[in-house]
A and B are shown apart, each in its own frame.
Chain A
């Protein structure tokens, strides 16, 4: 299982790449593995607002469906539209090509609540037990 060092994580298995006041968001390698083959997803539109801890979309595999939870509050400024036609990208490359949305976040203090790679790894290991 892959936990890139430059990312922040949530307990709902999203990752976040923070740059300035923007964050790119996707689901983790662990999440895509647990879901299995992803077949469909619903993402917000550019301009929508998302709220930390609340659902911003849905991801579906053949046998499971899961909400996507926003790691930070803010405005959606970019959406990875090609995913709609190639959801398998999320399985193949969850941290790069499989990114989902880019958020311009409104409250920088929320970044502090995100997990670092070590903490997330520990969380995943504990959850497995």
Chain B
């Protein structure tokens, strides 16, 4: 076994140093009746050649020839090979949480850069070292809002990603906090009148997608003003972070907390994970922030360096009174996003965002020419819902051609008749004009 370096002679010498007769004797503290006295029933070992062949066969059962036209929380983007080749530096990917800062300055400085990128993109003052994903980041934001306001009602737009909302409900099942779901209007934005009715002096947070699940850009300033007047925090949720290269930063529009995923930068799709969740907030709330955070300091000789800090908020010190139980987060994916954002830089990010906006315009035009109108009239970035008649039938039909057509919204909104024919589609820099035309034609059938 190539990962087990022990020769029989090593084992003999080591046992002799220990003073044990056999390896088996080292397990004498496990009572015999608790021992497993048969081999595990897992497949027999395979060598590397067999392993590669087996995994290639499995991977080949996934169809990924065309970039998918489905986003819905996970976005197909071009990740420059430089990102992955740098991630594969073993010093990065085989290190753990930087508990010993002197031998972890690489990870720590990169995390500090990540925190800065997140703060810049969201227009907020600080950010943590990452969360598991966007959904859990949103749930943690709601919990933080209840701690900060000492209130227990969360107003969440029905146009926030439905799976994010299910994760929120799962997290809040035991806390006694209440979720109020605010409906959306014809334009796909959160209904402002309904929001005004839903927010009162018991509301801890107002949560809105930015852009929302339908790809529609919410009227964040108005919602944030409403929340502020009621003493509630505004939480913006972004699953398509490329949008933040074109859209005004949520922090600049009044959001107190901005969460979501940086999956669009560096992570790829990976069947939905891993990707780095992000969590940004105002400096004044930082003591209630969940998760790890990296800070700048100096070493004994006065040189700048970085450490994990404010750790008394965390579970390993505060235990049951910690702000969260999170410890391992998504460090490597935060690094991936940091590398990708550095490569893009100021110009590249603006270019990428504009390109996405344009390609979505091409998709909209092609679909309209094919006879499919927009489900929602609100402004969008790179994702939009079309009325295609029977959305599930379209998805099945295109699947036979190996094309992932989009997400039928009735799966998440079965009770809303407006959603019956709605197919949520995305176009990014990966969708060339010809592919978009082919797609629209295929939807028409």
Contact = CB atoms under 8 A, between A and B. Distances in A.
Nearest to B318: A65
Contacts of B311: 62-63
In this complex, the interface size class of chain A, counting residues with CB under 8 Å from chain B, is under 10
A1 to B, nearest CB: 24
Contacts of B318: 65
A40 interface: yes
B317 A64 contact: yes
Nearest to A59: B312
A64 B287 CA distance: 15
A12 interface: no
A65 B323 CA distance: 13
A66 B312 CA distance: 10
A66 to B, nearest CB: 10
A116 interface: no
A126 B229 CA distance: 55
A60 interface: yes
Interface string B293-314: 0000000000000000101100
A40 B287 contact: yes
A60 B317 CA distance: 10
B148 to A, nearest CB: 14
B397 to A, nearest CB: 59
Contacts of B309: 62
Nearest to A66: B312
Contacts of A65: 312, 317-318
Contacts of B312: 39-40, 60-65
Contacts of A62: 309, 311-312
Interface in A20-73: 39-40, 60-65
B236 to A, nearest CB: 28
Contacts of A60: 312
A39 B295 CA distance: 14
- The residue among B311, B312, B317 with the most chain A CB atoms within 10 A of its own CB is B312
A40 B309 CA distance: 12
A64 B309 CA distance: 12
A60 B311 CA distance: 10
Interface in B259-300: 287
A65 B311 CA distance: 10
Interface string B316-347: 01100000000000000000000000000000
Contacts of A61: 312
A63 B317 contact: yes
B213 to A, nearest CB: 38
A29 B297 CA distance: 27
Most chain B C-beta atoms within 10 Å of own C-beta, residue among A39, A40, A62, A65: A65
Nearest to A65: B312
B288 to A, nearest CB: 11
Nearest to B307: A62
Interface string A88-123: 000000000000000000000000000000000000
A68 to B, nearest CB: 14
B284 to A, nearest CB: 13
A59 to B, nearest CB: 10
A60 B313 CA distance: 10
A35 B317 CA distance: 13
A110 B93 CA distance: 58
A61 B318 CA distance: 12
6 contacts: A62-B312, A63-B311, A63-B317, A64-B312, A64-B317, A65-B312
Given A62-B311, A64-B317, 7 more contacts: A39-B312, A40-B287, A40-B312, A62-B309, A62-B312, A63-B312, A63-B317
5 smallest beta-carbon distances between A and B, as pairs:
A60-B312, A65-B312, A65-B318, A65-B317, A64-B317
